Amino acid sequence: MRWSTFLTYGLAFVASASELAPPDKIVRRELDTRSLASTIWNDIENAATCDACEAVLLLLKGVAELGDSSFVSVLTEICDLSGAEDSDVCSGAIALEGPIIAHDLRSFSIGSHTSKLFCVTFMGLCAYPDVTPYTVSFPSAKPSTSRPSPSGQTPIQIVQYSDVHVDPFYVTGSNTNCSKPICCRDYSTADSPGNNNYPAGAYGDHNCDTPTSLEESMYAAIASIAPNAKFALFTGDIVDHAVWNTTQAQNTIDINAAYGHMSGLPIVYGTVGNHEANPTNAFQPTAVGTNSQWVYNLLSSIWTKWIGVTAATAEESFGAYSVKYGSSNLRIISINTNMYYIQNYWLYESDMETDPSGQLAWLVTELQAAETAGERVYIIGHTPMGSSDAFHDASNYFDQIVNRYSNTIAAMFFGHTHDDEFEISYSDYSNRAFNTASAISYIMPSLTPTSGHPTFRVYTVDPVSFAVLDSVTYFADMTNPAYQTTGPVWTKYYSAKETYGALLSPAVSADDNTVELSPAFWHNVTTVFESSASAFAGYISRKSRGWNVASCTGSCQTEEICKVRAGRAEDNCVTPSFGVSFKKRWEANAVATGHRDECGISVSREVLAKMVTRRDMLETLARRMDEEVEVRKRTASERV
């Protein structure tokens, strides 16, 4: 069958499913769902294409048109069939995420920009659509100034930590080898302390989120290692990964508790992570609704003591704020990156907004005022804006802003990936070189041990230009025999300036306080990654702090360096891959050997990605859609 004919049939089919009364319309369905599933399957087998994804969308849209409860029950059944997760995880997660996805499917049309993005995110079956061109407007042209040089005055220290993911239900002695996305909970009798062969230690495990003991240990280590740190940047994600069972009440308890544990720090500049929401990742932009207002209000009330009433009140608009650090020349701008996050399913509207919640326009206003006042700026956020977790469109628009104000932005700080990484922005992505490198994003590895050993970081910073002079990462090596007995031993893992400065030519001396880790410095580091296999292997190892290091050579190396050289997501070389959306080979391999996908666990996404690799799941989708239509038909005719 030609696809155009098929789509015509399919659309007639969806239309008939959605117009349930009068019931005779349903009878006019011209294609039976089973053959539809077979046709899709054959197409996927021959060539996994965007057409096939759009045909799957027809079925999904058909179910969504029947209502949220039909959609949730059908997707839950398919999740169970997939064996991807335990049944309570399937039902819990899909009950939370399903209605938002059903809303998306009802609102966008198949073949649109949004539907292609949906296919990329959920199934990896379409190529990433081109960015919709949009030129951000600026109040003034970029002045011909350049980055100020460091003053050379005695540096100050600041701290960053991220992705704490504290699990209040962590139970020492419970099973670390459980069947759920995270372990170390008393899920069942078999998982209980004393009844399992893999008892959790008192201070955490790579299959589990952070126990309170580990969280407290990190703040104690920060206090002893960096007692004079002026402030801390906390780049978000507090709530654990039990995403199938989140509630606003429990998230509120977790958020209050986590910030309570930070109270020994002089100032904490926080930002809103994707796990702070309920359901996880689900932040409505202001044009859609107010379901995240409670998060913004809660954070505002907690942050007031650090950022003051004015900034905290402004934060309540959409989760972002801008504030001066004390009487210094530094401004901290905290943005809500959930407005650009591909797993925030509220963003898949029929016409996607160019500037959700107006945050980009607000950012321009703040940066313009900072530039005019001669201030230095740190931008902090949760999800790095060049990563494959950021929409290409939003990332492009954000990158225009970064490049316009690159001489005012001293550095940017993110988290989310759980890995130790960095991203370079360029004024010209077709010529990524040291002299076009325009901004640097530090991506902070996590406290939660799911992707490596627990970490925090201390930056040495110029007190006038606020340039980052060094970035020193501390970790608690979980293989240390003392770790689970007397507790985590926090030691220096590496200094970026020592480790990378020595590799450059001319070499950058670790104790030269007149040299910053500039965007050009970091670009030159990536040049060394290209020419030195051992320097690059060192970077790969540091990503997970030496834990479960996968080999990355050849095209993996090329792609990884490309990813580092991309403050703009469209340039990060990450291509959607069929069935394993967004995982590169070595990452997919890492998943096979036990690595969990970084920050985002969306069960629905996992299920849909699996569905396009399994004929039985597709057929079940088709059959269940039929059954749901039949139920509706019967109900409708009973009503007549």
User: Residues annotated as binding site for Zn(2+)?
Assistant: 163, 165, 237, 274, 382, 416, 418
577 interacts with ligand NAG by CB under 6 A: no
521 interacts with ligand NAG by CB under 6 A: yes
User: Which token pair is 452?
Assistant: 């490596």
Closer CB to ligand NAG, 46 or 593, in the complex: 593
Count of residues that interact with ligand NAG, criterion CB under 6 A: 11
Give the nearest distance from C-beta 198 to ligand NAG in angstroms: 7
User: Which token pair is 332?
Assistant: 């901290």
Binding region for ligand NAG (CB under 6 A) out of 200-208, 416-424, 515-523, 538-546: 515-523
User: Which token pair is 300?
Assistant: 């505002």
Give the nearest distance from C-beta 518 to ligand NAG in angstroms: 5
Distance of CA 525 to the CA centre of its chain: 25
Mark the binding-site residues, compressed into ranges.
Answer: 163, 165, 237, 274, 382, 416, 418
446 interacts with ligand NAG by CB under 6 A: no
530 interacts with ligand NAG by CB under 6 A: no
Which of 408, 518, 526, 620 touches ligand NAG (CB under 6 A)?
518
Q: What are the residues whose beta carbons fall under 8 Å from the beta carbon of 352, sequence distance 6 or more?
A: 113, 114, 117, 391, 393
Closer CB to ligand NAG, 247 or 548, in the complex: 247
Residue 79 burial (CB count, 10 A): 27
Closer CB to ligand NAG, 109 or 247, in the complex: 247
- CA 347 – CA 356 distance, rounded (Å): 8
434 interacts with ligand NAG by CB under 6 A: yes
Binding region for ligand NAG (CB under 6 A) out of 520-528, 536-544, 579-587, 619-627: 520-528
Q: What are the residues whose beta carbons fall under 8 Å from the beta carbon of 488, sequence distance 6 or more?
A: 203, 214, 217, 218, 221, 454, 476, 478, 480
- CA 600 – CA 343 distance, rounded (Å): 8
Give the nearest distance from C-beta 254 to ligand NAG in angstroms: 9
Closer CB to ligand NAG, 163 or 240, in the complex: 240
Closest CA to 72 of 53, 97, 89: 97
Region of 579 please: left (phi>0), alpha (psi -120 to 50) or beta: left
Is the CB of residue 36 less than 8 Å from the CB of residue 5? no
Closest CA to 178 of 194, 164, 163, 192: 192
How do beta strands 268-270 and 409-414 pair? unpaired
Is the CB of residue 327 less than 8 Å from the CB of residue 318? no
Closer CB to ligand NAG, 373 or 504, in the complex: 504
Give the nearest distance from C-beta 437 to ligand NAG in angstroms: 9
Give the nearest distance from C-beta 57 to ligand NAG in angstroms: 31
Binding region for ligand NAG (CB under 6 A) out of 18-26, 292-300, 310-318, 517-525: 517-525
Which of 177, 485, 555, 575 touches ligand NAG (CB under 6 A)?
177
Give the nearest distance from C-beta 15 to ligand NAG in angstroms: 39
Taken as a whole, the chain contains a residue count of 640
* Contact code string over 229-268 relative to ligand NAG, x by CB under 6 A: ----------------x-x--x------------------
Which of 524, 544, 557, 602 touches ligand NAG (CB under 6 A)?
524
Give the nearest distance from C-beta 257 to ligand NAG in angstroms: 13
3-state secondary structure of 409: strand
Window 86-125: residues binding ligand NAG (CB under 6 A):
88
Q: What are the residues whose beta carbons fall under 8 Å from the beta carbon of 57, sequence distance 6 or more?
A: 105, 110, 115, 118, 119
3-state secondary structure of 490: strand
How do beta strands 490-495 and 468-476 pair? antiparallel
Closer CB to ligand NAG, 504 or 631, in the complex: 504
Give burial (CB, 10 Å; 0-12/13-18/19+) of 640: exposed
Give the nearest distance from C-beta 149 to ligand NAG in angstroms: 12
Give the nearest distance from C-beta 273 to ligand NAG in angstroms: 19
- Interface residues with ligand NAG (CB under 6 A) are 88, 177, 245, 247, 250, 434, 504, 518, 520-521, 524
